[in-house]
Amino acid sequence: MQWWEYLLKYGKVFLMGGAVCFIGQLLINRTKMTSARILVTFLLLGVVLEAVGVFSHIKEWGGAGITVPITGFGSSLAKGAIDGSKISLFHAVTFGLASVSAGLTAAIVCGFLVALIFKSKPKKL
Amino acid sequence: MDGKAYCEYVSKTAPRTAELKTLLAAFCVGGVICMLGQGFTDLYAYLLPQAEESLVGSLTSMTMIFLGALFTGLGIYDKIGSVAGAGSIVPITGFANSIASPAMEFRKEGIVFGLMAKMFVIAGPVIVTGVVSSVIVGVIYRVIAVA
Amino acid sequence: MRIGKHTFAPNGGVYVVNTASIAGPNEGRGRYGSYYDAVLVDHDWDCKTHEKTEIKMHKYAIEQVIEKSGLGREEIDCIVGGDLLNQLVASTFAAREFEIPCLGVYSACASFGEALAVSSFLLGGGNMDNVVCCTGSHFGAVERQFRYPLELGTQPAPSSQYTVTAAGAALLSTKKRQGVPRLEMCTVGKIVDFHICDANNMGAAMAPAAADTILTHLKDSGRGEDYYDYIFTGDLGKYGRETLHYLCKKQGFDLSGCLNDCGALIFADEQKDMQGGSGAGCLAAVFCSYIYKEMCAGSMKKVLLVPTGALLSKGSSLQGESIPGIAHAVALEI
């Protein structure tokens, strides 16, 4: 790949990721949503986009701009469930969580270790 | 003056969020975090040329989550968040922050009833929503596949 | 002795003999940094948790105020304390070290007002001679109870306030002393609910209660709007202070000459405190340092303290309850 191709690719990622967060901020400013609600909303958005088959098209253009936000987590869940549904009902029900096991494991283990090592502090005014 | 008139007065005069500034900050920080994620994706794809796309994706997620948790522990993530807002909440690093920060906070009540029990006070709804919705999607797709 | 509807004056003199205050590092950099008896270098003060730090701060304030007054611990009849933590663990746990009878009071951030009012009843009724009032708050301890973990990356709402890390103690006595303020009367406030539901806008939730209590006090005592040199509300913040002006003007009172707010004042202008400080320690610390010292020095003569509190719990907000306010007024003169 040429240098300008990289520039274009990363530019698209920046725009895509920025746009997703922009919408999130708009929701925070207008509706006073808390961070848990924002995360839930965007996760559901990812699930829905994947379920209706749009997510892969967005990902083709925006790359990590749509997979790094929590929408990517939702998409993985839905994608796992869809893949599992081709095998059996059992797989349809369990493959969703299995497909995000890496991220979830990392989050739990990192959270656990960080909490053992560090202490929370009020910030300086 | 009654409650209703007062609430109207307050909603009209209460200090508002600086819309343009917060939106711009969210856009820029969110974009940069995603670019960082793309960087890790490309790095892992380069290091592991035989790897499937899903493995590269998982490794990227794990790396971003690790960084999110680490920056939370170092006391940097909340500072980024106070400026960036959704720009640092929506990326997967924000999910890591929402797990690591209550774990750190409630560590004082002990490992079992503090750290472990309170770890999911914010991220719990996210996981529940994700699992329930994925099951719904899976069942619908299975029904369609059988039919 | 009852005056008007909700105002009570002690029978005989009640004097604020001494005060002591302690503040956190952010407050130490604030407007009254040089007035506090002690300023913490960090938020922990060598304690494992912020709750323990708060207990230690209460203990320090109580110890200091007794020591300064020259009285022995056995001469103190009661400690009246309050804080924001569940089951009042900070003020009552601090009092366990003293072997002095203890009463716990809760009016959220207006607890210092309730403590002064209760003390004036105890002293003015002739039952006791020396009472210590102490209230405080700690940012870290309050934040985890009412809001979020400290390290969660959220944006502070522009209408929100920063809970102060501070404690203040005042020793009230029936024995007359020269050059100290006299507690003249107290107006016990009603719970006023104008149905504000935004937990990030406490100033707006508390302003109606403050207006109600101030106007009741003026009516009960028959005093005009220019009687007091200063009226200090508790922690309405900058926006809440404007709202209070507006509410008073609506009722035909112009308090712009004397009204100010401890929450709006406690931090310096260059500190990014949004609307200012809040918490049970806010008015307590400002009164027990700046206001008390200025009164003893004679630069303030007639002061009305109106600590304000927003009544809510994490659960009550989630259950869709609004945030009622409360305010008590305490008149001091020298």
Residues 6+ positions from C320 with CB-CB distance below 8 Å? C197
Q: Within chain B, which residues score under 70 in pLDDT?
A: none
Residue B24 in domain: yes
Residue B46 in domain: yes
Give yes or no for C264 touching B (CB within 8 A): no
**Closest residue in C to B17 (Cα–Cα):** C158
Query: Helix or strand or coil: residue C326?
Result: strand
The total of structural domains in chain B comes to 1
- Which one-letter amino acid corresponds to residue C280? A
**Closest residue in C to A124 (Cα–Cα):** C26
Mark yes or no for CB contact C194/B17 under 8 Å.
Answer: no
Residues 6+ positions from C219 with CB-CB distance below 8 Å? C4, C5
Residue B78 in domain: yes
Give yes or no for C44 touching B (CB within 8 A): no
Domain that holds residue B24: 17-122
Whole-model pTM: value is 0.95
Residue B31 in domain: yes
Residues forming beta bridges with residue B139, ordered by sequence position:
none
CB pairs A-B closer than 8 Å: 285
Contact residues on chain C for B115, CB-CB shorter than 8 A: none
Helical H segments across C188-236, by residue range: 202-221
Residue B141 in domain: no
Residues 6+ positions from B42 with CB-CB distance below 8 Å? none
Taken in order of first residue, the domains within chain C and their CATH numbers are 2-173 (3.40.47.40), 182-333 (3.40.47.40)
Outline where DSSP puts E strands in A2-121.
Answer: none
- Average of per-residue pLDDT across A43-64: 96
Give the per-residue pLDDT at C17: 96
What band does A1 get if pLDDT is binned at 50, 70 and 90? confident
Residue B105 in domain: yes
Q: Are B56 and B48 in contact (CB under 8 A)?
A: yes
ipTM of the complex: 0.95
Give yes or no for B70 touching C (CB within 8 A): no
Give the per-residue pLDDT at A2: 86
Give the per-residue pLDDT at A125: 85
Residue B135 in domain: no
Q: Are C213 and C328 in contact (CB under 8 A)?
A: yes
Residue B73 in domain: yes
Element at C149 (helix H, strand E): none
What share of chain C has pLDDT > 90, as a percent?
96
Give residue-wise pLDDT tens across range A19-51. Answer: 999 999 999 999 888 999 999 999 999 999 999
Helical H segments across chain B, by residue range: 3-13, 19-47, 53-73, 77-84, 86-89, 92-105, 117-118, 124-146
Residues forming beta bridges with residue C3, ordered by sequence position:
C7
Give the per-residue pLDDT at B99: 97
Name the DSSP letter for residue C118: H
Q: Within chain C, which residues score under 70 in pLDDT?
A: none
